[in-house]
Chain A
Amino acid sequence: MSLLKKLSRARWLSSLIFLIVLFTITGLVNPTFFTYSNILSAFNSSVVFTLLAVGISFVIMTGEIDVSIGATMGLAAAIAGTIAQRGGSVVEMLIYAVLLGLVVGAINGVGVAIIKVPSLIFTLGIMGIVRGFVYVYSDGRTVENFAGAFTNLGSKELFADITVYYSMVIVIVLVAHILLTRTRNGKNFIAVGDNIGGATLIGIPVVWTKISAYMLCGVFAAVAGVAFASKYGQVNIVAGSGYEMSAIAACVLGGVSLSGGLGSALGAAIGAVIMSSISRMLVFIGLSSDYDNTIKGIMLITIVVADALMHTRSVEKARRARLAARASNHNSAEVGSSDEE
C-alpha cells in the first residue's frame, strides 16, 4: 500500500493535526506563543503523561482497561524518592520500578484474562490495594529531600532544546509504535481487541497477549513514577491520583478507541501532549488555568461523539448498501442444478 494511503488511515495523524490546530489557535490569539522554546516545552513537560498514556494504550488496544496505573505510578515514585533520599542511582530506581510494574501488571492480567473479572472492576480493586501500599510504604508522609542531582535530572537539555527525558520518551514511543505495528507479536494486541473470537481462531494466544499488555502497562506506569519523582522533587501520598483518567483521556484524544482494536502508541503519545499542554496554551490565550478541566471535558466529549456518530453512519451505510444490492439483483434465469429431484 502506498505511503499516502497508509497515512490516510492513520488515526494518529488526525490527532496530530488537531494538536497543530490547537497550537495555531493559541498562536493566533497570542503571537508570543510561537517561539520554538514554547512549543517545545509543551512536549518536554509531557514526559509523565506520555509514558502513562502509551502504557495504557497497550491494554486499551486489547479491549480492556486499567485504572490502577495512577496508583502504580505513585508507588514507584515513592520508592524512587526514598532511594533518592539516600542518594541511590537512577538505575536502582528503574530496576525496582520495572519489577513493580511487572508484578502489578501480572496480577491485573491474571485477574482479567484468566479469572475473567471485568477489567474496570478488577483494576479498581488493585488500585485501592496499591494505594494502600503507598501509604504503608511512605508511613503516611511525603517523600522529599532528595539528594542532589536526582531532581530535575531529566530537564537537562540534550539537543535542540529537547530534554534528556523527552528524548528518551521519543525513542520509547517510536520503538513501541514500530513493535506494535510491524512485529508479529505486536500486531496481536490490536487483533485481540478487534475481534477476540477471530484472534483465537487463527491461533493468537489471547490470554498471554492480555497479560503481557497489562505487564507492559504496569512497567510504563512505574517508569513514569520515576520520572514523576524526578520532575517534582517530592512525592506526597496521593501522588498520581486521577492520572489514570487523564491517561485514558489522552488515549481517546489520540485516536485509541476504548472498545479496542483501533489506535496506536503514537496516537496515545500525541494525545498525552495535548492533555498536558492544554493549561499552558490556555494561559497564552488569556484564560486562567481554571478553564482546564472544562476545555478538556468539552474536547473529550466532542471527539468521542464525532467518532461514534461517524462510525455508526458508516456501519449503517454499509448495511443498507448490502441489503439494497441483494434486493435489486434480478437474475432469476439460469440456475439449473439446484433443482430438487
Chain B
Amino acid sequence: MENIYSLMHGFAVVISPTNFLLMLVGITLGVLIGVLPGLGGANGVAILLPLTFTMTPTSAIIMLSCLYWGALFGGAITSVLFNIPGEPWSVATTFDGYPMAQQGRAGEALTAAFTSSFIGAFFAVIMITFIAPLVADFALEFGAPEFFSVYLLTFCSFVGMGKGSPFKILASMALGFALAAVGMDTVTGQLRLTFGFEELMRGFDFLIAVIGLFGIGEILISMEEGLAFSGKTAKIDPKVVLATWKKLPKFWVTSLRSAAVGIWMGITPGGATPASFMSYGLAKKLSKTGDNFGNGELEGVVAPETAAHAAGTAALLPMIALGIPGSPTAAVLLGGLLIWGLQPGPLLFVEQKDFVWGLIASMYLGNIVGLAVVLTTVPLFASILKIPFSIIAPVIIVICGIGAYTVNNVMFDVWMMLVFGVVGYLFKKLDYPLAPMVLALVLGRNAEDSFRQAMLSSQGSVSVMYSNWLVGSITTLALLLLFWPLISKAIALIRPPKEDEFAAHREAE
C-alpha cells in the first residue's frame, strides 16, 4: 500500500510544533470567519493568503485548509443558534437545527451537527487518499485537448446543475473569463482590454474579486436586511455530547447516504449547497420519522451537515489531482499554489510529495482538531454574535481593505474591491451565481492556454475535441450539461415532472 506509506510520511511532515500551532490558529480563525457575516471560507482564505507568502508552502496550505474546515464547522453555529445560515450550505441545517434550539436542545443539535460534519469530511478524506493519486496518475497522460475538455466540463456543469437562469450562470462565467483576459497576453506579449489604463496592465487579481464579491457584497446584503441577531445561547457540556453521540449510530444509514451524496456533488462542481438540500430531502423521504422533519428532528441535522462537509472536502480532490477546483474556496487555495510557486496539476503528486501528502494528512488531523475546538468553544463564538453589527461591519470592511491592499500593495486594488462589492451585492440580489465567476477568473488563463495549444495542434479545427475517445466523451458530457436546461425542458414536455421535494423548503426559506 504505497498510499498508506505516503500518508504516514505526510503525518510526519504535519506533526511539527509549528504546523500544529498553525493548524489550531487556522481552525480558530476559520470558525470565527464562518460565524461572522461578510466573512466566509473563500474570502477568509483570500485575505490571509498574502500573510502566508513567507511561509513554506506546506505550512501555508495547512493553515489555510484548516481555516476552510473551521469555516465549514462555523456555519453550523449560526444556523442552529440564530437561524441565520453563516454559509449557503448551512441553510438546510436551519430547518431542524433551529427548532431544536428553540426547544432548548441547542447543545444536542450542535453536537450532532459538528459530529456529522466530521464524519462527512472523514469519508471524503478517505476517498481523496485513495482516489486522488489514481486520478492524478491517469491525468499525467493528458494533453492540451484533454485538459481543455475537463475545463469545459467544469464550467458546463455549472450550467447543467445550477438553479436559476442558465443565461445568468453563463454571464457570470463569461464575466470572469473576460476579467481574466485583461492585461498582458503571455503568449503574444500584447496588451489586452486595458484601454490604455496603466493600472489594468497587471490584470484583475482574483483575490480582489473574491474579497469584494463575498466580503463587501455580503456586508451590504446583511445591512439591507437590517440584521439584528436574536439567538439562543448554548453551552455544550460533556454529558450532552456523550448522550448525543449515543444516539447518532442509529442514523448510520443516513450518514453513509449523505456522505455519498456529498462526495459525488463535491467532485462534480455541483457544490456543497445542493448536496445538503438533496441529502436532507432524501433523509426526509426515507426516514421513519420523516413527517416530523422541520420540527427539530436530530436526523434532519445529521443529513445536511454530513453532505455539506463531505462535499466541501471532496471539492479539493479535483483541485489536488487535476488543478481544477470544485468550489470558490478551492479556487482560492489553487491560486495560493501558484503564488507559492507550485504548479497545480497531476504532476503535483510526483514533484511535490511532501506538499500533497502533508495536505491530505492535515485534512485528517485538521478535522479531528476542529471537532475538539468547536465542541469546547461554542459559547465563545456564540457570544461574538452578540457584538453589535455597528462594530462588526466597519471592522470587517477594514479587514477586507487591508486584505485587498496586501495582495499587490497597490491602492487601486482597494478601489476595485469596492466596485466588486457593489457587483456582488447586485448579483446576489438578482440571482447571478458568484462561484462560476470566481472559478473563471482563477482558471481563465489556464483554460485559454490549453484551448490555444489544442487549437494549435489541430491548426484551428474544433475536431480536436473529438480526436480520441477520452476527449470525445468528456466533451460530449460537457455539451450535454451545457444544454441540460433545454434538454430537461424537452423531457418535461414529453413527461410531466414529478413533484419537487424541495420546493416547499425553498419557499419557506
**A and B found bound together:** no
Interface residues of A (CB under 8 A from B): none
